[in-house]
Copies of this chain bind each other. A is one copy, B any other.
Amino acid sequence: MVSLVSTAMSPSRTNLQRLFAPRSVAVVGASAAPEKAGYQAMSALAGFTGEVFAINPKSTAILGREAFPTLRALSRPVDLVVFAVPAAGCVAAVAEAIECGSGAGLIVSGGFSESGAPGAALEAELRRLCRQSGFRLLGPNTAGFLNTRLSLTASFLPSAGLIPAGKIAVVAQSAGINLTVSFLLAKLGYGVSFAVGLGNGVDVDAADVLEFVANQQETRAIALHLEGVRDGRRLYETIQRVARVKPIVVFTVGKSDIAEFAHSHTGNLIGSYALRCSALEQAGAVLVDSTEELAVAAAALSLHRLPKKLEPGIGVITAQAGAGLAMLDLLKSRGLAVPELTAATQSRIALQLPPMTYQKNPVDTGRPGPLFSEVVSAVVEDDRIDAVIAFALSEPAALDPTEALPAVQRRASKPILFGTMGPLEEVARTVRGLCAEGFYVAQSPEELARAVSALGRDAALQARVAPLSAPGSPFTAPQVLEPPDEDTAKRALAALGIATPRRVVCSSHEAAHQAFARLEKPVVAKILAPEIEHKTELGGVCLNISSAAALDDALAQLDAIPLVSARRYLIEETAPPGLELIVSASRDPSFGPVVMVGLGGIFAEALRDTATRLAPLTLLAAQEMLEQLRAAPLLRGFRGSAQLDRGAVARSLVLLGDWLSACPNIQQIEINPLRVYPSGVLALDALLLVKSPDPAL
């Protein structure tokens, strides 16, 4: 296993270990009154393999543990302090814990930033204490965490201790979702290695926990739940790193407008859902849409992980064609490949099955018989297939999957997942039998398809994630220090490698006429001044100039615009017609440099047809952004029109992202429109927002 934690650990890293894998725990506010959180915390710790101390000024023993009046009264520092005290008392309690040498704490109370300004101030103070000392704090506003290897239930929900141990780490922003997903896993027959609700995440965030569970030997897959993301770039980089060694599935909310309620929950802003989803997938996390599928996908990935592959092939075997259709439809609508089996495999299957059913993939076996496992073998051994799903309604007289499948799986190097439904006790028996053999067993056709789609998607995403090191090709970022005019912006684009129309900057009418004579007609005449952002609205753009007289009219129109800077004109060749896109690079407050592409004109915005990813981008990622647009058919050459140069658009996207990443003073680059031709592109207008150098420096 690759170790992701460096050997020389910072205090903050060491304290993260003390938080999630403590040798000793103290409960501040421990209580013998069953209705108190301090009682629940103590009773939840009953099974913990390490030391437990109760802190209560009025008792000498609580729940059979020695009680101390204060943390100070303990002879030595504890790793983890559980604070079962109200919000108002937390700052002082944390300060005392730091003073006593504790490494970490956990605050269950609400009443912080989710409830208004005074709570936010408390949170800021807690954050300051942590930053200053390296103390790690989970919460506030969390129900805690489980570390099943240590039998540690650091939680206020006593039943959390009933979640079985297993191989899946659940990392949830919300305590409620943490428990929901953990119990859904239990219902599916799986358990957790670790489970946490982050709450307000004043200090410890999802990225921290991912680092921790990536190094837990017992964790085989990670189920992640996110609402808002405060430091998106750090999370992105962490997922990118961790997902290489352990598969990550993520469920995030925000398809619709839920911002107000979300803020009331953990005090976080929800941010753009589309950008968050893009970034998570780009980092290599498998996106799902519900707590149920989070459990299904994580469970499947805890059992199997496919080698990375751009387009893994799924083999589908079904004893009921209707179920096969439902699975095929789900897989294909998610973009998974269900390739036709090789001729050799089809011949092999034809020996087993009567010629009445479909056998190309899906393979419809009809009523399953003793040859079912032979068919599964044939499909799993097909070169085009990377994972197999097999569905059959429970018919013990015809097929015992617990007999038939394990032998096939032992001979196969690729995963076989099984799905069934039928009389509940028969199904329960099959689930138990096959789970014990390491199978994923789904209880509906769609659950089975979702489980294998997690495997396929993970493999496809891993084949796409960018290398961790910066791209090797030399990249010289054009420097732009002042807010540029259009010509300067276009020269920078040209230096970057994005073509622009031929043009001449002119300071006089005479120069404009000379330029007109040299350029191909018709030309465009524009006012050129860095202070003007929206030339068209001011009458600063004159199109379609074919004669000297028309040029004079145009110049007269441009001369009527009041200016601060010296009057200059841009005389530019008219670009041939083509499809217009908008492409841009900008900085998101959470995720940093971001690249966007959409259809130009009002359509991009009105039709909400844009694709967004984090920079830097790989060329493949840029190409896939174009495929993601609804307008993609227009680029592929629609209705007999020529195929357009998608490669040139993709290269432009990569370049814009690299440029923004390399130049911290550039806030935004927007090319609108970028005109696209069968060969090449032309940037017809460019807007570049730069931060002026601070005059004080």
B639 and A321 within 8 A (CB): no
Q: Is A630 an interface residue (CB 8 A)?
A: yes
| Cβ–Cβ < 8 Å partners of A333 in chain B | 255-256
B321:A176 contact, CB within 8 angstroms: yes
Asked if A264 lies at the interface with its beta carbon under 8 angstroms from chain B, I say yes
Complex alpha-carbon distance, A334 and B429, angstroms = 37
Q: Which residues of B contact A262 (CB under 8 A)?
A: 325
A133 to B477, CA, bound (A): 83
Residue in B256, B364, B421 whose CB lies within 8 Å of A329: B256
Contact of A175 with B423 in the complex, beta carbons under 8 Å: no
**A115-145 CB contact bits vs B (8 Å, 1 = yes)?**
1000000000000000000000000000000
Contact B605 A639 (CB under 8 A): yes
> Is there an interface contact between A162 and B423, defined as CB atoms closer than 8 Å?
yes
A647 sits at the interface (CB 8 A): no
A374 to chain B, nearest CB (A): 19
Quick one: closest B residue to A630, CB to CB? B607
Q: Which of B174, B290, B607 is close to A609, meaning CB atoms less than 8 Å apart?
A: B607
Once the chains are docked, how many angstroms separate the CA of A330 from the CA of B258?
Answer: 10
CB nearest to A446 among chain B residues: B290
- A502 touches B (CB below 8 Å): no
Q: Are A326 and B291 in contact (CB under 8 A)?
A: yes
A445 close to B (CB within 8 Å): yes
Instruction: Kindly list chain B residues whose C-beta atoms are within 8 Å of the C-beta of A225.
Output: 322
Contacts of A159 in B (CB 8 A): 394-395, 422-423, 426
Asked if A258 and B183 sit within 8 Å, CB to CB, the answer is: no
Instruction: State whether the Cβ of A201 lies closer than 8 Å to any Cβ in chain B.
Output: no
A633 is an interface residue with CB less than 8 A from chain B: yes
Which segment of A68-76, A355-363, A460-468, A569-577 sits at the interface? Answer: A355-363
Is A406's beta carbon under 8 Å from chain B?
no
Chain A: residues with Cβ within 8 Å of the partner, total of 90
The answer on a CB contact under 8 Å between A322 and B443 is: no
* B177 near A323: Cβ-Cβ < 8 Å: yes
- Provided the pairs A159-B426, A264-B364, A322-B176 are in contact, do residues A421 and B332 lie with their beta carbons within 8 angstroms? no
Return the contact of A174 from the options B321, B394, B446, B630 (Cβ within 8 A): B321
**CB-nearest residue of chain B relative to A356?**
B115
Q: Which of B183, B260, B423 contacts A421 (CB 8 A)?
A: B183
Q: Does A638 contact B (CB under 8 A)?
A: yes
In-complex Cβ contact of A110 among B366, B426, B603, B607 (8 A):
B366
A491 within 8 A of B: no
Residue of B nearest to A325 (CB): B253
Q: Mark A603-635, 1 if CB is under 8 A from B, else 0.
A: 101111100000000000000000000110110
Chain B nearest CB: distance from A218 CB in Å? 22
Is the CB–CB distance between A633 and B606 below 8 Å? yes
- 9 sampled A-B residue pairs with Cβ under 8 A: A176-B320, A183-B422, A183-B427, A227-B325, A256-B332, A264-B364, A291-B326, A602-B634, A608-B630
7 more A-B contacts (CB under 8 A) besides A254-B329, A265-B325, A608-B630?
A: A162-B423, A179-B393, A180-B320, A291-B323, A291-B444, A606-B631, A606-B633
